[in-house]
Structure 1
């Protein structure tokens, strides 16, 4: 993959004109974790809004943060309890101001979609329609839509575990050459399924390994579809992230991309970017725009892509129907993500699309650990150049004070421990 020459940051990314009076709307977030914390931070930085976070179990940084009012329902709470809490909160507030409701997990976006009619009486929910969500959140269907719209994607086959199985049932074979990658077609469908060896993504070396895993998944009660895909060569540094927002008129008003430098490698977090550098993927951005506009998308979207070294094309793996866990890379590069949804859903204003952002290094890990896994000399030079302008860590919100900085250091040290255990040295495949 070519490496852009290091260069000074762009002029500050174009700002969507923002409402100057805080408190013109209330923000309610479902869920917890880094992606929700940084979403709350974006709204607090831009509008001074404190998010009400409804979650089963929160995390300590959010409990301590000035950005959040966390209301925990308890580990035993059901999804229905979350919906009841959201409806109860709306009744408590009495509809005095617009109530903006967002989530940043596939299962919670699906939950909002399933209860759209109830929630829409009280909340503004800028999200895609149920049929579009159904099509795009399914990785098997996403691959088909990519092919239909001329968007490059890995070769894909589907294993359907929803059909009745005979006692002598055997997992189907695949015609894709090994090694292959396998994942659940719909992440939300796998959320409540538990079995030994469960991961977000599996790297499989032969047919026997594939068959054994598929049997384990079926026996655990998973009845959805699995996608088997060709392995695109390249380590973590060949991967990329694209974040987008599509407004009510079907216009993509935000497109931002970043090259992944290092992804997490624990079984439950495999593939989550731990370090990224913002850079434009011009050809891939236009493909993402076309796919969103042609499918009638609405709201935030996050694409996982990878550059294929065999022909230089970006391959699209999936689109998450939400802003994504690592959304802070967009905000800290000069395009605060809250502006786009507020202009669209609260202020009902047309804004100029943003595609140019500052060049920044986003990282959750210490620089020495990051540089251990960046092997290409030109890429190393680029990363060091950008790092000299400052490394952006999502946990270190100045308004949250010294505690946030201490927490960021603890997270970084924990990453060292996890990488040394699960991915002690870089590999050509990233697995």
Structure 2
């Protein structure tokens, strides 16, 4: 068995997900992570837990990525380098360039074929259908045919990109991560705006599942190098973020458990042969009592620190597998806790379900609440000032954007 010496977590990205993973490594092993990304974002600035080691705007180019990763390994000899993707695009880069990374880094990731199959939403829904997993009624359109598309369901209609990586890199006025079109006119305005940008891949048009944000569920899993699921943790989002770029990200999550749902998703992951972290977003449909699957992210979720905070450290599951090669059975997280990235005041103001709010308040009083971006071991004056500004800014954002998923702000 390989010994754990000079552990060096290498995190791809610089966002809140990176900070959450860095906290996980720090909590379990007391180490500082190094990050490599296209840019440097505020969530990881002025931190003792993670340092931005490389910023390379062309990192998404395979040749550049391989060169950067080889040079980084050469610059950090005599370390046990554990590589973690914190974005869909980075997982794709790792998958495509696996042969160049092996021997330099310890990591887990899917094959490039499986990454492409399940990261593209149309392909993911085909896989769901083949495995008997429910998803919203879904249609699609392209840059060529969207003007003549007739939806097979009534408005409102969800409009989102099939290729999340390409959409992330495009720009157009009033861009949002996900749109809701309430009628045909809004639909045409939204799609025309999207296709006025560099994004020219297909769009997913989806039936709207009724219900508040608290009907959502988020599932984070880790599948080992043997393609067996080792860890599953389910969360119940209480609110989503409300900024155009943040729609679909969660502001607060309660840890919950549903063994029947987890059993189905375990069978799915093992049947397709997944390796590494995975993250599923879904919504409970009160009309038929089923969870409707929205997407699978080929990485741990942006909010996945809720798993570590509830007592199941994501970094440990990864290191035990890819470095120490420890055998492990399935663990289903069952500790109740509250995770937040927005302040508690936002929950009190915008969460409509009083029973869920009471549960959240009880967990806060019991000391079972954590905040993604606040870590007392990482406090400094600069980071403290940024954190306060970040939290206060949530009130402005919610007041301006709450409930708005149309083209206009």
What TM-score comes out, normalization by structure 2 length? 0.91
- Partner residue of 2:60? 79
- Partner residue of 1:335? 312
Deviation at 1:315, TM superposition (A): 1.1
Q: What secondary structure is seen at the aligned counterpart in 1 of 2:379?
A: helix
Question: Distance in 1 between the 2:372 and 2:353 partners?
Answer: 26
Query: Could you tell me which of 137, 144, 151 is aligned with 1:174?
Result: 151
Question: Distance in 2 between the 1:369 and 1:19 partners?
Answer: 46
> In the alignment, is the contact (CA less than 8 A) between 1:244 and 1:302 conserved in 2?
yes
- Partner residue of 1:156? 138
> In the alignment, is the contact (CA less than 8 A) between 1:171 and 1:211 conserved in 2?
no
Seen in structure 2, the aligned counterparts of structure 1 residues 344 and 78 have a Cα distance that, compared at 3 Å, is: closer
- Partner residue of 2:378? 400
Seen in structure 2, the aligned counterparts of structure 1 residues 218 and 336 have a Cα distance that, compared at 3 Å, is: same
- Partner residue of 1:257? 234
Question: Distance in 2 between the 1:265 and 1:171 partners?
Answer: 31
Question: Distance in 1 between the 2:16 and 2:323 partners?
Answer: 25
Question: Distance in 1 between the 2:317 and 2:50 partners?
Answer: 20
Ranges in structure 1 where 5+ consecutive residues have no aligned partner: 1-17
Q: What secondary structure is seen at the aligned counterpart in 1 of 2:361?
A: helix
Q: What secondary structure is seen at the aligned counterpart in 2 of 1:408?
A: helix
Question: Distance in 1 between the 2:201 and 2:86 partners?
Answer: 22
- Partner residue of 2:126? 144
Root mean square deviation of aligned Cα: 2.4
What TM-score comes out, normalization by structure 1 length? 0.87
1:184-230 superposed Cα distances (whole Å, 9 cap, x missing partner): 11201212222223211010112232233223323323221111111
Query: Could you tell me which of 286, 289, 302 is aligned with 1:312?
Result: 289
State which drifts further: 180-189 or 110-119.
Answer: 110-119
Ranges in structure 2 where 5+ consecutive residues have no aligned partner: none
Query: Could you tell me which of 376, 396, 405 is aligned with 1:417?
Result: 396
Question: Distance in 1 between the 2:342 and 2:217 partners?
Answer: 18
Question: Distance in 2 between the 1:110 and 1:268 partners?
Answer: 21
1:18-42 superposed Cα distances (whole Å, 9 cap, x missing partner): 999552x322111101100110111
> In the alignment, is the contact (CA less than 8 A) between 1:254 and 1:340 conserved in 2?
yes
Question: Distance in 2 between the 1:357 and 1:58 partners?
Answer: 35
> In the alignment, is the contact (CA less than 8 A) between 1:259 and 1:279 conserved in 2?
yes
Question: Distance in 1 between the 2:148 and 2:160 partners?
Answer: 15
State which drifts further: 281-290 or 229-238.
Answer: 281-290
> In the alignment, is the contact (CA less than 8 A) between 2:2 and 2:323 conserved in 1?
no
1:129-168 superposed Cα distances (whole Å, 9 cap, x missing partner): 111111110111111111110111111112133xxx49xx
- Partner residue of 1:13? none
- Partner residue of 2:73? 90
> In the alignment, is the contact (CA less than 8 A) between 2:121 and 2:295 conserved in 1?
yes
- Partner residue of 2:298? 321
- Partner residue of 1:8? none
- Partner residue of 1:135? 117
Q: What secondary structure is seen at the aligned counterpart in 2 of 1:260?
A: strand
Seen in structure 2, the aligned counterparts of structure 1 residues 54 and 221 have a Cα distance that, compared at 3 Å, is: closer
